[in-house]
Amino acid sequence: MDSAVWAIKHTMRDISEIGLGLANEIIDNFAVSEPNISNAFFQQYFLSLLQDIFFVLTDTDHKSGKPKYFR
């Protein structure tokens, strides 16, 4: 998760989009896993990941425009 968050927060748009894609894939994979595993993952990481994504969307240092994952 740390690598995905690092990439999401990167100021180069290509790297940021790769990080978003990675985070999306991780979330999708845990969402279909066993409920006890899925719940543990979401309790541990989901809120902080969501906060990091909103930070990037509202940070003026990042280039404007929505990444393809938010279209």
| pLDDT tens, position by position, 4-39 | 999 998 888 889 889 999 999 999 999 999 999 999
Within 8 A by CB and 6+ apart from 29, the residues are none
CB-based contact 9:16 (threshold 8 Å): yes
* 51, pLDDT greater than 60: yes
pTM equals 0.76
CB-based contact 48:36 (threshold 8 Å): no
